[in-house]
Structure 1
Amino acid sequence: MHRSRLGNIVIDCNTGDLLADARFWSQALGYPLPETIDGDSPFIQLLTPPGEVQVIIQRVGHEARAHLDIDTDSISDEVVRLEHLGATVVTRKDAWVVMQAPSGHRFCVGSPYRAGFDEHANHWNTSTDAKT
């Protein structure tokens, strides 16, 4: 058995001014910017209430889009489960796997980033891919 849940909404920005884009999304969504921002970092995480899905503004080299991150306690089992549902692996990184849904949307599968995983994750029976 393994567990997973929606972890992050990542807004990919092909930009030279990540802070300006983060300011826009901060104001549009009503989530404040962090007090300290590392100008060298490729992402800025907005301040969402504890337990809510995180919103991350990320600098990328591809077209602007948004993608979801799925948190899991077993990346390999979750990738297999999602492949059974029709997703395909695009690339494997050290800490996450980029996948593509049958709809064409890209998303990532990785370890939990925020609190509450144990209380709110879906439980999956690895042998049947069924929710338990």
Structure 2
Amino acid sequence: MHHSRLSTLVLDCCGDDLAAATAFWSQALGKPVANSDQDGDGKYAELGTDADEPIILLQRVDHPSRVHLDIETDDLEAEVGRLERLGAKRVSFMRGCWWVMEAPSGHRFCVVRPQRDAFGPHLNRWD
């Protein structure tokens, strides 16, 4: 048995000015900037959300801007396997930590380890 849930809405932002994108989305969504440089490399910023809301992460990328979802799980391989049985495909294993997947619809998404201390209450239980 393992668990998973929607974890993060990731705003992939093409370009060098992540600060401007962060300011826009902070104001557009009415969410404060929680961290303007999450990893210290200028690639990630996070908006403040309540514990029962998905994380909103902005990511500086080289591909066209888009939005993707992260699904967090307490068993990475079990969740990736479950999604493969539903028709998803593995695309790449990133930094030895998470999987980029592609849905049958062509949408990219990530399967990641738990992102917050409290994993529940909005989780799915899979046997």
The answer to whether TM tops 0.5 is yes
**Alignment partner, residue 110 of structure 1:** 112
CA contact (8 A) 1:50 1:115 kept: no
Tell me which structure has the larger Cα radius of gyration: 1
CA contact (8 A) 2:12 2:59 kept: yes
CA contact (8 A) 1:51 1:116 kept: no
**Alignment partner, residue 22 of structure 1:** 22
CA contact (8 A) 1:100 1:107 kept: yes
Q: Structure 2: any 5+ residue segments left out of the alignment?
A: none
Root-mean-square deviation (Å): 1.3
SS in 2 for 1:79: helix
Separation of aligned partners in 2, 1:57 and 1:37: 9
Task: Kindly indicate whether residue 90 of structure 2 is the aligned counterpart of residue 92 of structure 1.
Answer: no
Task: Kindly indicate whether residue 28 of structure 2 is the aligned counterpart of residue 32 of structure 1.
Answer: no
1:119 partner amino acid: P
Q: Structure 1: any 5+ residue segments left out of the alignment?
A: 126-132
CA contact (8 A) 1:72 1:109 kept: yes
Over residues 54-106 of structure 1, what are the superposed CA-to-partner deviations in whole Å (9 max), with x where a residue is unaligned?
Answer: 10011011111000000000010000000000000000121100000011100
CA contact (8 A) 1:11 1:58 kept: yes
Separation of aligned partners in 1, 2:33 and 2:119: 24
TM-score for the superposition, normalised by structure 2: 0.92
Number of equivalent positions: 124
Separation of aligned partners in 1, 2:31 and 2:122: 22
In the TM superposition, residue 124 of structure 1 has moved relative to its aligned partner by 0.2
Separation of aligned partners in 2, 1:10 and 1:104: 17
* Mapping for residues 62-101 of structure 1, pairs under 5 Å: 62-93=63-94, 94-101=96-103
Separation of aligned partners in 1, 2:29 and 2:117: 21
Separation of aligned partners in 2, 1:56 and 1:118: 20
